[in-house]
Amino acid sequence: MAEVKKIAVIAGDGIGPEVVAEAEKILKRTEELYGYSFETEHVLFGGIAIDEKGTPLPEDTLKVCKSADAVLLGAVGGPKWDSNPKELRPETGLLGIRKELGLFSNLRPAVIFDCLKDASTLKPEVLEGTDLMVVRELTGGIYFGEKFRREGEGGQEAVDTCVYNVQEVERIVRQAFEIAQKRRKKLASVDKANVLETSRLWREVVNRVAPEYPDVELEHVLVDNCAMQLLRRPSSFDVIVTENMFGDILSDEAAMLTGSIGMLASASLGEGSFGLYEPVHGSAPDIAGQGLANPIATILSVALMFRLTFGYDKAADAIEKAVAEVLDAGHRTADIAVDKSQALSTSEMGDLIAAAMK
Ligand code: NAD
């Protein structure tokens, strides 16, 4: 009997519950096919938690997440809470949960499904073979440094400070090397070491730990060059590791290579194997409750969970292959369909993928 894996499930707001329901079908199907055992516990978070508990991140939600092996999150937020004060906004809960769970890296794979190459704004021949992962530092850098205003000679000045210490850099760089070891063994470390002191420290740390991963081919890429190369030769990248703000920008750029936000999974990791897995998209209030959402991003987030937290590589492969097979057979949800009248509903897509798993 396989060990029971505990998964805290946060359906959240908008299309969150719809896409999470499809991901749960995949968990069930995996149990049937592989004999694994998952114990899921649904908890409130985001807008719905504000409505029912008066806070976006209730204590008991945090407790369940902390005692779980992994967290599966749909999406949070919506116009209903947009004008709330900061502490009563769903996004505040997102920052809080990352901090409380010690999640310091965000992983976003960008994979091109052959049959969807035409959905991207780039030429299909440029995209051919693209399969990359952006590893973004999540808790340091300019977003979290001291911020203030002061009077200067040219009038009021605004200051944002960018701070990184060796430990923060080292833990994410090591994680990226380890991820590269499990993939095609190539790592691009992205910085701006020709200008920024934090980048020079970053590069020193990368060069110091690199000899411990001799099987990984390392290149240093300046961030401006990386932004360009992602559009010119995306298929030459395997794993990209970078600091918080560069990662924020590059991961959105990489995401758009694939053409549809409904297809993109993500993972946030801390020390050890614990992780939070969620689609890149938000709660899509414009299509919520209509069965129009594409559940593939959330389903692929489950594949990431299997691979990165549980080490269930075969089951992860089975999910990814099932998604590719269903797409190759021409099945589409409305966001990726050419002929919208033929589009499948959220649950029809989930059923097909679950059935295609082998
Ligand atoms: P969004 O990602 O929710 O939607 C952007 C566009 O993409 C919309 O037209 C939407 O219909 C479409 N879309 C998104 N996901 C889709 C899917 N799975 N299938 C088909 N179409 C899909 O971004 P937004 O509109 O800027 O934000 C809406 C709300 O979500 C806001 O409250 C925002 O704060 C929140 N948000 C939450 C998260 C999160 O939970 N991690 C992330 C981003 C935005």
Q: Class for domain 121-257, per CATH?
A: alpha beta
Residue-wise pLDDT tens digits, 201-222: 999 999 999 999 999 999 999 9
CATH homologous superfamily for the domain 1-104+264-358: Isopropylmalate Dehydrogenase (3.40.718.10)
In what order do the strands lie in the sheet containing 265-269?
A: 37-42, 4-12, 70-75, 275-279, 265-269, 105-111, 131-137, 239-242, 186-191, 217-222
pLDDT tens-digit series, residues 171-192: 999 999 999 999 999 999 999 9
Is residue 69 annotated as part of the catalytic site, yes or no?
A: no
Give residues (CB < 6 A) around ligand 1.
15, 19, 75-78, 91, 94, 261-262, 278, 281-287, 293-294, 297, 335
The preferred substitution site among 82, 94, 261 for testing ligand 1, maximizing ligand atoms within 8 Å of CB, is 261
Q: Kindly report, residue by residue over 42-82, the tens digit of the pLDDT.
A: 999 999 999 999 999 999 999 999 999 999 999 999 999 99
| 19 vs 23: CA distance, rounded Å | 7
Residue pLDDT, tens place only, 87-125 = 999 988 988 898 899 999 999 999 988 888 877 889 999
Domain boundaries, the chain: 1-104+264-358, 121-257
- Residue 78 is assigned to a ligand binding site: yes
Exposure of 62 in the CB half-sphere (CA atoms within 13 A): 15
Catalytic residue among 6, 34, 99, 143: 143
Separation CA 63–CA 71 (nearest Å): 12
8 Å CB contact between 294 and 263: yes
| Sole residue written with tokens 């209903």 | 80
Which is it for strands 105-111 and 131-137: parallel, antiparallel or unpaired? antiparallel
Longest CA pairwise span in the chain (Å): 71
